[in-house]
Structure 1
Amino acid sequence: MTGAPRVLSKEEAAAYCGCKTLAAFDQWRAKGIVPGPIPGTTKWDRKAIDAALDRASGLVTDPVKELSPFQRWRAAEKAAGRLP
């Protein structure tokens, strides 16, 4: 068998993402940047991490997470300081 394993421990998943600490990896999980472990396990799927990072980086858009025109307007107004 060659290549990197697909299933990673939490420590391996954090290192794969470039997180220097497990706390940083947990913050990424809390923010929805990376997924949690495979259900029923304490292991992470490398491909799921890759897909999540692709979405977070804007390489792939997730239609469910697409903003409506109103949501885009509201975000722009908030960023400009015109909305709380």
Structure 2
Amino acid sequence: MPRRRGGVLPHGLYPRLLSREQAAEYCGCDTLSAFDDWRRRGIVPEPMPGTSKWDRRLIDRWLDRRSGLVSDAGSSAAEEWLAQHAR
């Protein structure tokens, strides 16, 4: 279950920035290796540059794009951010 300083967040509520374990759980991956495979395949983004944290909203945008819920034009802000911060 996601934790925050001083306690536990209510069930189903996630902080904006997620650890690798939280990001994997949020995405529904049963294992960390499955999440890492999704990262390698570009299904989910890499962590924010200079951190080991994933932006929950960016994960949502990537999954929306990959599932066809939004077109590439609908995710241009995320794509521009990624291009500027590519490793």
TM-score by length of 1: 0.70
Tell me the distance in 2 between the aligned counterparts of 1:59 and 1:25: 21
Runs of 4+ in 1 over 4 A off after TM superposition: none
Q: Provide, for residues 45-72 of structure 1, a one-character-per-residue CA deviation record: whole Å limited to 9, x for no partner.
A: 0000000000010001114xxxxxxxxx
| % identity of equivalent residues | 65
Paired AA for residue 62 in structure 1: D
Structure 1's unaligned 5+ residue stretches are: 64-84
SS in 2 for 1:50: helix
Matched, 1:56 2:66: yes
Question: Deviation at 1:33?
Answer: 0.4
Larger radius of gyration: 1
Matched, 1:41 2:51: yes
The match for 2:21 among 11, 22, 25 is: 11
How many pairs does the alignment contain? Answer: 63
Tell me the distance in 2 between the aligned counterparts of 1:41 and 1:61: 28
Q: Provide, for residues 2-40 of structure 1, a one-character-per-residue CA deviation record: whole Å limited to 9, x for no partner.
A: 853100000000000000111000010011000000000
TM-score by length of 2: 0.68
Coordinate RMSD, CA, aligned: 1.6
Structure 2's unaligned 5+ residue stretches are: 1-9, 74-87
